[in-house]
Structure 1
Amino acid sequence: MSEQLAGTLARRRLGVVHLFFFVVAASAPLTVLGGGVTTTFAVTGSKGVPLSFLVLAVILGIFAVGYAAMSRHVANAGAFYSYIAQGIGRPAGVGGSFVALTAYNAIQVGLYGLFGYIFADFMTTKFDVTAKWWVWALMAWVLIGILGMLRVDLNASVLAVLLVLEIIATAVFDIVGLGNPAGGSVSMAGWDFGNLFAGGVGAVFALGIAAFTGFESGAIYSEEVKDPRHTVARATFLAVLFTGIFYAISAWAMTVAVGPDNVQQAATEAGPGVVFGTLAEHTNNTVADIAVVLFFTSVFAALLSFHNGVARYLFALGRERVLPQFLGRTSRRTMAPIAGSLTQTVIAIVVLVGFIAAGKDPLLDLFTWLSGVSAVGVVLLMASTSAAVVGYFRVRRADESLWQGTVAPLAATILLGALLVTLVVNFNSLLAPTNPSYLRYLLPGLIAVAALIGVIWGLILKSSRPDVYEGIGRTVGQPLTADESGKSDSDYVPVH
């Protein structure tokens, strides 16, 4: 590595709009519509899928109240790791960091499978260029690795362009679907609570929560935002509101376009083709082809967003010496967490090569397995973070109201805990019928193992490296207090 390295991230480069693009790009609206919504309809047959997104958005909105309140006091690229460490305890924080690394690496690597699959199909269909899925996945891997080492605001600009285009494509589908209802009338079946809770609601929520993965990533960039006390909170609330409404309307448009009684069969037979077929039928093939292109740029945008998130987690853990200290290095030229970015790139290629060598399917195996692991991990993190918010404000005086510091996060802890149980119990709904049955226990078990290893490592640090232990989850530049460490403020020296 030829360029000099520093130990701090770029300061005050990201505003609310930048952060909104990072957060929503990770959720990938067009990917959710073409992949997540169609899969939910195919697996569950529930006509109430549109309403489920609104219910989940309300739950996540309640979570965001406490999450946003804590973001005003804790600025650390480790986000959930730092929140849990300060609100529950340092060993739990390290456990949370290991869960975060497992979950975000899982979804990031899994998306390479989805990207390779859809890009290979597109190139074969449109240009008669035949290549294995992994050829295209590796090309995306190279480009993501390069972008991850550039300035964070440049990454946000790339995501902004891709996100705006995919939102337009999704909106066109919504307009076309609602404007051309099957049977000649617009069905309101998607908004009926009876349809949502008629059966299979657990699987609907299990699949639906995976669609929101990434909305909570705003705090990862808290050290790089222009206004640490407000930017993360505003971007997170905007992301929850936007994605919840947008997903709900898009899912409803799909039921209207093909008919609520036909949507399961259509989604099962065509998958993402429901979206592009509807566009081709009611507009023209050019519009449908553009939507297909934007579908895989949507996946690419999500890849880039999750790559940046993992890199910053690794940076935070390296800077605090919870993991090897070299990870806490940034580029002096771009201020990007270059060591964390390169490490994530290496992790991605190792897992990719393993799946390629094993001859696994990029969609049914690589993408499905790892996105399921990620969903379990992220919900566990959110539930733990909500509990941490309660613990944090219980012992610290702040301006937050009772609703912000106690009631909302406590309610979120209960609701997200119920969602976690639902997701684990219904994990088999995320797996293809051809997958081995033991995976329903093994894959979510990876998250439990990561959490346990993290907690054990935290306890080892407490006994063997107390100086490192005392700095776990610390807000950047914040001194240790005498109450917390038994030392005076002057004894604390931030690690760079």
Structure 2
Amino acid sequence: MSQSTVAPEPTTTGAPARRLRGSLGVASIVFIVVAAASPLGVIGGPVPIGIAFGNGSGFPFTYVIATVVLLFFAVGFTAATPFVRSAGAFYAYVDKGLGRGPGIGAAFVALFSYIALEAGVFGLFGPGLNGLLTSWGLPQGQWWIYALIGLVVVGTLGYFSIEVSGRVLAVLLIAEVLIVLAFDAVVVFRGGGPQGFSTGIFDPSQIVSGAPGFGILFAILSFIGFEATAIFRDEAKDPDRTIPRATYISLILIGIFYAVSSWALISANGQKNIVTIASKNLGGLLSDTTTRYLGLAGGHIIQVLFVTSLFACILSFHNIVSRYLFSLAKNRVLPHGLSLPHPRFGSPARASVTTTIIVLVLIVAAVALRLDPIAQFYTWLGGISSVGIVLLLALTSVSVIRLFRKSDHGLSSWKTWIAPGVGLLGLAFFLFLILQNLPALLVENGGAPWAYGAFSWGVLAILVLAFVAGPVIAAIKKDVEVE
């Protein structure tokens, strides 16, 4: 990974430069984005849930569906990249296609969604680290103590050059991917599990069994973070080429990894019994299965890397949130002081500190309200994030189609409306599934479809208010502009 430029960026007016600096290549951005997806965390979390309450042995195929839909989305998203010069990601695309008000509204929805996810994952990280240390003989501690320790480390790394975070994420990501691939290889080498290799991934009757919609829901949530490639535009080498390549590579790698690894997990336990086994052992399915195939050492390694995977996920989203704050401040939506990069590191240092403070407030609030870190803090904030991100993906697809309707910029119909249109239809279906199953995500009213309670309505209200704030601010602040 290349080093960040540290020389001051010249300006014609003598005012401080408000552009981040760096020289991230395709590999660096892929590491950051894939780490945000938390591959090991997904295999140990959403995958057992998708198997147990979704479509059982057919669940791996849902990753194929999700990958295909998101690749259609990526065609329009990456085709528009050369015409969207800002590093504002979602809201820059929405601004180009639908106008200033919706663009700012999309920015606030994205900001709320990513902050919620960063803070919420601490609800998994704290208990996870606590449990890991307890298994090593250390005394039981409070989850929030470990969460705060993790927050300090994340905030420190976020303060420095993006290359520092990139190196940390690369090490953690390679370690967690290698252990899962080792497990996959052993399962294949041994000829599968008690019933051989699972055929559910190819069997239409298994793919549509159970609740395939719920399975697709957890599959699409496993990809959250891939779209953040565009947020690193200012820190990328040759962004018009780097961002599209990083987007496609991230999507394909994530999709293949999830499909193959979930298939291996099912094969290792036997597809006829997997639903029962997963239902009884949601939290320990991966570690227990790994211990059987890789021995006690493999089980212990999985425990350690599960915690570091969550840390990598938090760090990735911290970097994303910081850059959203920086970009919004640069465009005068938020206080302009947040858009001053660090003079030496070229990083969004002030925005990173602000992000750390916001997450700190959320963790302190959770402790003060005595929320359960997983059942309440994580699931509630995860609900906000899941609805918000899929909504933003769909809104971005509409914006890309609208952008190319104004002018096709010499591109083919495939890139300007066919592929984006297909992606939009798929994302609209995913959004429907998430809204239908939101009570299940929030563990509310027995999880019955459309059985909305206070928390479900609260999630929707927060996102609606965040989006509506965009047009209001655009009308009040006349100096807002997306650069």
Shared fold by TM > 0.5? yes
Instruction: Kindly state the Cα deviation for residue 399 of structure 1 after the two structures are TM-superposed.
Output: 3.6
Q: Distance in 1 between matches of 2:209 and 2:182?
A: 31
Q: How does 1:379-418 map to 2 (within 5 A)?
A: 379-418=390-429
Q: Distance in 2 between matches of 1:185 and 1:273?
A: 22
Secondary structure at the counterpart of residue 331 of structure 1? coil
Instruction: Kindly state the Cα deviation for residue 8 of structure 1 after the two structures are TM-superposed.
Output: 3.0
Q: Distance in 2 between matches of 1:193 and 1:107?
A: 34
Greater shift in the superposed pair: 218-227 or 360-369: 360-369
Aligned length in residues:
464
For the 8 Å contact 2:195–2:271, the answer to whether it is kept is no
What amino acid maps onto 1:300 in structure 2? F
Q: How does 1:467-486 map to 2 (within 5 A)?
A: 468-469=479-480, 471=481, 473-474=482-483
Q: Distance in 1 between matches of 2:408 and 2:138?
A: 65
Q: Distance in 2 between matches of 1:25 and 1:452?
A: 32
What amino acid maps onto 1:420 in structure 2? L
What amino acid maps onto 1:241 in structure 2? I
| Residue of structure 2 equivalent to 1:493 | none
Instruction: Kindly state the Cα deviation for residue 267 of structure 1 after the two structures are TM-superposed.
Output: 2.3
User: Which residue, out of 149, 163, 169, partners 1:153?
Assistant: 163
| Residue of structure 2 equivalent to 1:298 | 309
Secondary structure at the counterpart of residue 272 of structure 2? coil
Task: Check 1:205–1:89 CA distance in 2 against 1; reply closer, same or farther (3 A cut).
Answer: same
| Residue of structure 2 equivalent to 1:425 | 436
Flag structure 2 segments of 5+ consecutive residues without an equivalent. 1-7, 9-14, 447-451
| Residue of structure 1 equivalent to 2:449 | none
User: Which residue, out of 17, 20, 23, partners 1:13?
Assistant: 23
For the 8 Å contact 2:95–2:103, the answer to whether it is kept is yes
User: Which residue, out of 25, 34, 51, partners 1:24?
Assistant: 34
| Residue of structure 1 equivalent to 2:242 | 231
Flag structure 1 segments of 5+ consecutive residues without an equivalent. 475-496
What amino acid maps onto 2:443 in structure 1? A
Instruction: Kindly state the Cα deviation for residue 266 of structure 1 after the two structures are TM-superposed.
Output: 2.3
Secondary structure at the counterpart of residue 323 of structure 1? coil
Q: Distance in 2 between matches of 1:328 and 1:124?
A: 42
Task: Check 1:34–1:351 CA distance in 2 against 1; reply closer, same or farther (3 A cut).
Answer: same
Q: Distance in 2 between matches of 1:315 and 1:206?
A: 31
For the 8 Å contact 1:173–1:275, the answer to whether it is kept is no
Greater shift in the superposed pair: 54-63 or 284-293: 284-293
What amino acid maps onto 1:154 in structure 2? V
User: Which residue, out of 37, 52, 61, partners 2:71?
Assistant: 61
User: Which residue, out of 335, 340, 359, partners 2:351?
Assistant: 340
Task: Check 1:198–1:233 CA distance in 2 against 1; reply closer, same or farther (3 A cut).
Answer: same
Secondary structure at the counterpart of residue 390 of structure 1? helix
| Residue of structure 1 equivalent to 2:287 | 276
Q: How does 1:113-132 map to 2 (within 5 A)?
A: 113-132=123-142
Q: Distance in 2 between matches of 1:378 and 1:448?
A: 13
Instruction: Kindly state the Cα deviation for residue 397 of structure 1 after the two structures are TM-superposed.
Output: 5.0
Q: Distance in 2 between matches of 1:52 and 1:204?
A: 7
User: Which residue, out of 459, 463, 467, partners 1:443?
Assistant: 459
For the 8 Å contact 1:31–1:298, the answer to whether it is kept is yes
Secondary structure at the counterpart of residue 157 of structure 1? helix
Secondary structure at the counterpart of residue 377 of structure 1? helix
Task: Check 1:449–1:264 CA distance in 2 against 1; reply closer, same or farther (3 A cut).
Answer: farther
| Residue of structure 2 equivalent to 1:494 | none
TM-score (norm 2): 0.92
Determine whether 1:211 maps to 2:222: yes
Determine whether 1:193 maps to 2:204: yes
Q: Distance in 1 between matches of 2:384 and 2:55?
A: 23
> What's the CA shift string for 1:207-260, capped at 9, x where partnerless?
221110001100000111101111000000001101111101111111111122
Task: Check 1:144–1:259 CA distance in 2 against 1; reply closer, same or farther (3 A cut).
Answer: same
User: Which residue, out of 164, 177, 182, partners 2:174?
Assistant: 164
% identical equivalent positions: 35
Secondary structure at the counterpart of residue 252 of structure 1? helix
Task: Check 1:459–1:263 CA distance in 2 against 1; reply closer, same or farther (3 A cut).
Answer: farther
What amino acid maps onto 1:164 in structure 2? I
Q: Distance in 2 between matches of 1:226 and 1:12?
A: 8
Q: Distance in 2 between matches of 1:258 and 1:192?
A: 18
What amino acid maps onto 1:24 in structure 2? V
Instruction: Kindly state the Cα deviation for residue 45 of structure 1 after the two structures are TM-superposed.
Output: 5.3
For the 8 Å contact 1:25–1:163, the answer to whether it is kept is yes
Q: Distance in 2 between matches of 1:301 and 1:110?
A: 14
Q: Distance in 1 between matches of 2:61 and 2:125?
A: 28
> What's the CA shift string for 1:319-351, capped at 9, x where partnerless?
110111112111001111112111111110111
| Residue of structure 2 equivalent to 1:485 | none
| Residue of structure 2 equivalent to 1:100 | 110
Q: Distance in 1 between matches of 2:175 and 2:329?
A: 36
Instruction: Kindly state the Cα deviation for residue 407 of structure 1 after the two structures are TM-superposed.
Output: 1.3
Task: Check 1:330–1:6 CA distance in 2 against 1; reply closer, same or farther (3 A cut).
Answer: farther
> What's the CA shift string for 1:113-170, capped at 9, x where partnerless?
1101111111111223310111111100000000000011111111111111111011
Instruction: Kindly state the Cα deviation for residue 173 of structure 1 after the two structures are TM-superposed.
Output: 2.2
Determine whether 1:289 maps to 2:300: yes
For the 8 Å contact 1:50–1:249, the answer to whether it is kept is yes
Instruction: Kindly state the Cα deviation for residue 456 of structure 1 after the two structures are TM-superposed.
Output: 2.4
| Residue of structure 1 equivalent to 2:193 | 182
> What's the CA shift string for 1:400-442, capped at 9, x where partnerless?
2211112111222222112111111111221336889432332
Greater shift in the superposed pair: 135-144 or 362-371: 362-371
Q: Distance in 1 between matches of 2:455 and 2:347?
A: 37
Greater shift in the superposed pair: 377-386 or 414-423: 414-423
For the 8 Å contact 1:57–1:241, the answer to whether it is kept is yes
| Residue of structure 1 equivalent to 2:475 | 459
| Residue of structure 2 equivalent to 1:251 | 262
Task: Check 1:451–1:172 CA distance in 2 against 1; reply closer, same or farther (3 A cut).
Answer: same
Determine whether 1:357 maps to 2:368: yes
For the 8 Å contact 2:196–2:270, the answer to whether it is kept is no
Greater shift in the superposed pair: 235-244 or 34-43: 34-43
For the 8 Å contact 2:194–2:268, the answer to whether it is kept is no
For the 8 Å contact 1:319–1:328, the answer to whether it is kept is yes
